[in-house]
Amino acid sequence: MNMEIKTVKEVCKSAKEASGGLGIMSAGQKNRILEITADKLISHTEEILAANERDMKAGREAGLGEGLLDRLSLDKKRVEAMASGIRAVASLPDPVGEITETFTRPNGLVISKVRVPMGVCGIIYEARPNVTADAFAICFKSGNACVLKGGSAAIHSNTAIAAAIKEGIRSAGADPDVLGFIESTDRESSYELMKLREYIDVLIPRGSASLINSVVENSIIPVIETGTGNCHIFVDESADPEMAVSIIVNAKTQRVGVCNACESLLVHRNISETAVPMIAKALLAHNVEIYADERARAICPNLKAASEDDWGREYLDYKISLKLVNDTDEAISHINRYSTGHSESIITKDEANAERFLREVDSACVYVNASTRFTDGGEFGFGAEIGISTQKLHARGPMGLKELTSYKYVIRGNGQIRP
């Protein structure tokens, strides 16, 4: 599954040239190619897992934390999940060509607003090999070529996955350059990619705050910012403590190295004497370190002392912050100050507090009585996602097929001229 090694510019130029044909493919053609690439992933499982083991070995030797190693790790089930994700995208309606609005002007012009592909999407990401398959599938189905640049931690895994996908595209009779893969992992190649505006139409970073900030600050290509996840859960005074414990444990421990994992807890002081010990016992049983304020530690002295930095930290590890708040006002204020704008949840039986939380918390996804782990393209029914946008322009939250399209106006007349 060896791929020809090209320069960054050559990869981007080839993707741009290939994008024109992709943009006019029928939904049936795209779906058939996606199904074939999913099959290729399965048939190359052994090669992909062997490549992943090289990355895992290097990660362990480099001292990567448990959460990051979990993000990096692949097994047969996860390869099957990648293939299933591609098939799920194939089964979704094709957004390209959808007419979202039509109106007629007084002069008789009929104007329609029609979805079109963006062209070429560049994605820079870190140690999550599944992004390679997800990004390809969602870009391809929405009519976009893509150029992928993963991090050094997952280079062997990403290379094997990209090679399998390109083999599938080629065997289906399509241009494999609709998937551009940059094998270089150095920073200079990332900076070069950020400057190739003549070939890349939009750039999407996925990963740490430092990666995202670097792309935002250095790219001359328009950027869709996918933010880090300092996600909060607020346990209101009317909350069912058992429900709160169940949701918190799921949000924190199901997968700790993902952006929608809960990193910060707020508990109403009026139920703290009951709720804090229950929550602490459940989290400690999962080996989660709890960094708490003085009032919470007065209830549970075995908790660790929190610093100011803990309130805004995305741990991506078996760690969480805990703060007691006096009321809903303080909870909302705290979240809007320290949140990264990703996902927040309130556990409550009070409908008025729930509605206020939904209205006033300024994040991409806001929940009532549910885990933040649901902020995901697959869980939202999008098949896969290109990322979780935490900005407010163009797209916000899980970005599916429609979020990777733009639009154009199609105007039909019968001889009109402007007076």
Q: What is the pLDDT of residues 146-171, one digit of tens each?
A: 999 999 999 999 999 999 999 999 99
Predicted pLDDT at 4: 60
Single-letter amino acid code for the residue at 248: I
Predicted pLDDT at 391: 82
Contact 260, 229 (CB under 8 A): yes
- Provide CATH code, domain 231-374: 3.40.309.10
- Provide CATH code, domain 8-226+399-412: 3.40.605.10
Predicted pLDDT at 377: 82
Q: What pTM was computed for the model? A: 0.82
No. of helices (H) and no. of strands (E), the chain: 14, 16
Predicted pLDDT at 393: 78
H-type alpha helices, 24-75? 27-43, 45-61, 66-72
- 401, two tokens: 């097929």
Predicted pLDDT at 319: 96
Single-letter amino acid code for the residue at 316: L
What is the pairing mode between strands 120-125 and 397-398? unpaired
At residue 123, the 3 state secondary structure works out as strand
Flag residues of the chain having pLDDT under 70: 1-4, 383
Predicted pLDDT at 245: 98
Domain-by-domain residue ranges, the chain? 8-226+399-412, 231-374
